[in-house]
Amino acid sequence: MDPIRNPFAPGAGSQPPELAGRDNIVSDATVALLRMRVGKHAQSQMLLGLRGTGKTVLLNTIENAAEDAGYITSAIEAPEDKALAELLYPKMQQALRKLSLIESAKAKTHAAMKALRGFASAFQVKIGDLSVSVDPEPGVADSGNLEYDLPDMFVAIGQAAKAAGNGWCLLIDEVQYLKSNELAALIVAIHKVAQKQLPVIFFGAGLPQLAGLSGDAKSYAERLFAYPKVGPLDKESASKAVLDPIKDEGESITDEALREIYRITAGYPYFLQEWGFQAWKVADASPIDLSDVKKATASALKRLDEGFFQVRFDRLTPKEREYVIAMSELGQGPYRSSEIAERLGEHPSKLGPRRAQIIAKGMIYSPQYGDIDFTVPMFDDYLRRNLNPPVAAP
């Protein structure tokens, strides 16, 4: 098979050739965007899902839909080591610069720029060449308390967008990495613009624990946001995600091969892309068949082990690695915290801080009280395949 025509693109956030099984999520987001553009209430959204389910791809798709609807968009990823104020500052300034070009919004944009100058000063944002050439407005977004100042900024931008007959769409990936006070400030800011019916809408994406973190930060968050769940694809959608790109290239794949890909990947979009890519690569000719998929599995697992899985494992300390290996030794999750403690020969209470650190790194989460599971599908298989000593025969 011609490698140049290989339609699959496994990679973090890479747009798949066929966005299958996500029509409802994209449709709901598009309706929310269009409702807000005509002045009607629409909920902001938090997409929740494990690694490899395509949350970033969906955020990118929603960003494109927002741009098509005429929004000014600002997209960021929340890293673990950078303050939200520093991340948002250049995006807010960029949005205001665009709004400043619209005559009807000049006065409101100027006021928002003054607020932004105070915001930058209050949070000691290094603005460099992006300095705002206005004097700050005393008493607006300059207290140094993010929960007070971020709502001021969102309201100022929302008022400018409304004056321009426009809207602002903010998108943040990996929201679970925000500090608790930052998440609380973001929620308050979204709540404030919603109360004032300003054209500002937010789409976030994060791991499943994000819903709980949002509720802990502000109890009304569960009513403020919609929380679409982004899970593995069903069998029909998974088959479509593999089959359609191959057909678009004028080639084919057998039903037996499709069933095997679905069995191995369990419908997780990232893995579908990886197995599709490798199956195309090893196939000599169309149709791609079961033997090709079986050959592809070794290559796919090797790539995942050396990249997707290894990168995450390397972020853990030796004690944290010990904890996740103990999880994998128990088989497939979810796992009881007490069982992990027993496996490690420790009291459950002593393992609490270690577990919290691994959760904070986005490697595990608690699907319900007392249970723990991996945020990375197939990670338990990776650990058993590469790190556990073989069990001696009786």
Region 22-37: what's the mean pLDDT?
95
Give per-residue pLDDT as tens, 224-259: 999 999 999 999 999 999 999 999 999 999 999 999
CA 245 to CA 249: how far, in whole Å?
7
Residue-wise pLDDT tens digits, 330-347: 999 999 999 999 999 999
Read off the pLDDT of residues 176-185 as tens digits, 9 standing for 90 and up: 999 999 999 9
Contact 93, 112 (CB under 8 A): no
Taken in order of first residue, the domains within the chain and their CATH numbers are: 23-226 (3.40.50.300), 235-312 (1.10.8), 315-386 (1.10.10.10)
Distance of CA 252 to the CA centre of its chain: 32
Half-sphere CA count of 377, side-chain side, radius 13 A: 18
DSSP 277-315: HHHHHH-SSSSB-HHHHHHHHHHHHHHHIIIIIHHHHTT
Amino acid at 88: L
Element (H, E) at 196: none
Q: Which residue type is seen at 347? A: H
Helix (H, G, I), strand (E, B) or coil at 75: strand
| Residue 393: band (very low, low, confident or very high) from pLDDT cuts 50, 70, 90 | very low
pLDDT in tens, 81-139: 889 999 999 999 999 999 999 999 999 999 999 999 999 999 988 765 445 567 777 78
Which of these, 257, 206, 248, 202, lies nearest to 229 by C-alpha position?
Answer: 206
Q: What is the pTM of this model?
A: 0.90
Alpha helices, DSSP H only, in the chain?
Answer: 23-37, 55-68, 84-99, 106-122, 146-163, 180-195, 210-217, 221-224, 235-248, 255-265, 269-282, 290-304, 310-313, 318-329, 337-344, 352-360, 379-386
Q: What percent of the chain has pLDDT over 70?
A: 95
Sign of the C-alpha dihedral, residues 191, 195, 196, 202? positive
